[in-house]
């Protein structure tokens, strides 16, 4: 009987086994993965600005309505090797932008309004502060695993810590020119200001902070 319930009403069946708060997070995470996998429909493939080239210090890139400036981070000693050097890059998408994407998917797939509202509610519960995207390449396979990295977000004054997150284990993909590569998205559960700093730190490095980015919302004057 439970098997038939799982096939016909998966949410109802799973809710009998998994606490609702955990189940909602699992479902919305799955939905976000599916959302960004709809490349032809949504144009939500990985942003080329994340993987096209090495991000230089003090270089600013515009991603999803935000200016993201790399403040500092490890760079190759020889500029001639930039095209083949390891890349560390981040992107950011606000909650409003994510909600707009959900609406477009719902219209394109002719989903029920009730389903859309449920998905939006779950989205707001786990992505109140939007979504962070992280892309990196490393020459060594083990060093490209996200298990060695953690994120710290600070406010515009760069003093108080707003949120911290340890990235879980995620094996990298097959090597390309810049080495083994990895990509992930992180849902931010706390509200963020229009300007903030993102630190991506390496647990195996000898530095207090490894990569620092400033994220600023573009305002229309």
Domain 45-94+129-221, CATH? 2.60.40.10
Highest mean pLDDT among 9-18, 89-98, 114-123, 170-179: 89-98
CA 64/CA 43 separation, integer angstroms: 12
Q: Is the pLDDT of residue 68 over 80?
A: yes
Q: Which of 19-28, 134-143, 208-217 has the least mean pLDDT?
A: 19-28
Highest mean pLDDT among 48-57, 171-180, 191-200: 191-200
pLDDT band at 106 (very low <50, low <70, confident <90, very high): confident
Tell me: the pLDDT tens digits for 74-94?
876 556 566 678 899 999 999
Q: Is the pLDDT of residue 220 over 60?
A: yes
Q: Is the pLDDT of residue 187 over 80?
A: yes
Spans of all domains in the chain: 45-94+129-221
H/E segment holding residue 37: helix 20-37
Interval 95-102 mean pLDDT: 92
Q: Is the pLDDT of residue 174 over 90?
A: no
Q: What is the mean pLDDT of the chain?
A: 82
Among 204, 191, 183, 219, which Cα is nearest to 91's?
183
Per-residue b or e along 108-118, where b marks 16 or more CB atoms closer than 10 Å to that residue's CB: eeeeeeeebee
């Amino acid at each position: 009987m439970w098997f038939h319930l799982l096939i016909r009403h998966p949410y109802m069946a799973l809710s009998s086994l998994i606490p609702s708060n955990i189940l909602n997070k699992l479902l919305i995470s799955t939905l976000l993965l599916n959302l960004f996998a709809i490349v032809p429909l949504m144009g939500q493939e990985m942003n080329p600005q994340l993987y096209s080239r090495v991000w230089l210090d003090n270089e600013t890139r515009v991603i999803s309505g935000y200016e993201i400036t790399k403040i500092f981070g490890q760079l190759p000693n020889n500029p001639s090797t930039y095209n083949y050097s390891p890349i560390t890059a981040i992107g950011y998408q606000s909650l409003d932008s994510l909600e707009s994407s959900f609406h477009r998917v719902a219209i394109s797939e002719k989903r029920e309004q009730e389903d859309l509202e449920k998905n939006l509610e779950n989205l707001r519960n786990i992505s109140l502060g939007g979504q962070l995207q992280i892309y990196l390449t490393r020459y060594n396979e083990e060093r490209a695993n996200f298990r060695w990295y953690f994120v710290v977000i600070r406010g515009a004054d760069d003093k108080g810590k707003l949120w911290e997150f340890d990235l879980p284990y995620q094996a990298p993909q097959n090597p390309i020119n810049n080495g083994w590569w990895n990509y992930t998205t992180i849902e931010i559960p706390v509200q963020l200001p229009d300007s903030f700093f993102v630190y991506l730190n390496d647990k195996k490095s000898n530095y207090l902070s490894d990569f620092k980015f400033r994220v600023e919302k573009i305002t229309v004057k």
